């Protein structure tokens, strides 16, 4: 069965939007995916107040997608409020540090992993459509086994269309890392969920299709059984 994470991508300072989506998801989901966008790496700026998250007192497992230029400055506050997985972009690491042995990229990745392990949580690497999928096997990322294949054109805004080329990228990644956990984020509906599951995906992130539906629980269950 495909794992489905409803997603939250709310406007900056709009905590009521976050609260509404969490309460809606609690009726059927086990995990929630939270987008944190900084208007630097991503196009938009989203709600990002970790202290408010604690007020929700939710039992949902939290996955935080750091769509930010410097994830090492943001990761700790989300781990402290209970995040079980942190998603960071390979692009934020690779463009600042060359991914070759002995360079800072190795140290940064290990630092992020170490922060996660202390809480405990896991670290997932996300990759944008324009970045070659082989980047995920560069030396500085060799110890990572959890990956997100981003499946829409623009990082940040929700409600975009699924990019069909994602399916082939998932197949390549599954062949490269047979024991990987592979998540797909962006434009997920029933058709695209079926396609990426057949290609080897384990998890899909779906905001508009689930929480934007008149019947979120039914939409969620449809994706789980895609």
pLDDT digits (tens, 9 = 90+) for 114-156: 999 999 999 999 999 999 999 998 888 888 999 999 999 878 7
For 11-65, how does the pLDDT look when each residue is reduced to its tens digit (9 = 90+)?
999 999 999 999 999 999 999 999 999 988 888 899 999 999 999 999 999 999 9
Reply yes or no on whether the pLDDT at 101 is more than 60: no
CA-nearest of 213, 149, 210, 185 to 35 is 185
Expressed as residue numbers, the domain containing 119 is 3-224
What is the spatial distance between Cα 54 and Cα 57, in angstroms, rounded to a whole number?
A: 6
Query: Do the bridges between strand 83-89 and strand 146-150 make them parallel or antiparallel, or are there none, so unpaired?
Result: unpaired
For 153-194, how does the pLDDT look when each residue is reduced to its tens digit (9 = 90+)?
878 777 789 999 999 999 999 999 999 999 999 999 999 999
216: domain CATH number? 3.20.20.70
- Number of structural domains the chain divides into: 1
- Helix, strand, coil percentages (3-state) for the chain, rounded to 5, are 40, 25, 40
């Amino acid at each position: 069965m495909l794992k489905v994470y409803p997603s939250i991508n709310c406007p900056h300072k709009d905590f009521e939007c976050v609260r509404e989506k969490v309460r809606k998801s609690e009726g059927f989901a086990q995990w929630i995916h939270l987008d944190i966008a900084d208007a630097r790496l991503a196009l938009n700026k989203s709600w990002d107040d970790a202290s408010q998250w604690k007020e929700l007192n939710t039992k949902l497992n939290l996955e935080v997608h750091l769509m930010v230029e410097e994830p090492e400055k943001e990761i700790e506050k989300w781990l402290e409020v209970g995040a079980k997985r942190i998603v960071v972009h390979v692009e934020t690491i690779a463009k600042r540090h060359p991914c070759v042995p002995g360079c800072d990229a190795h140290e940064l990745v290990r630092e992020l992993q170490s922060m996660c392990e202390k809480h405990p949580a896991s670290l997932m690497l996300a990759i944008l459509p324009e970045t070659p999928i082989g980047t995920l096997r560069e030396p500085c990322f060799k110890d990572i086994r959890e990956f997100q294949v981003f499946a829409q054109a623009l990082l940040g805004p929700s409600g975009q269309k699924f990019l069909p080329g994602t399916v082939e990228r998932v197949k390549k990644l599954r062949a490269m890392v047979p024991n990987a956990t592979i998540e797909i984020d962006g434009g997920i509906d029933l058709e695209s969920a079926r396609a990426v599951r057949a290609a080897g995906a384990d998890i899909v992130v779906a905001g508009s299709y689930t929480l934007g539906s008149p019947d979120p629980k039914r939409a969620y269950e449809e994706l789980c059984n895609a």
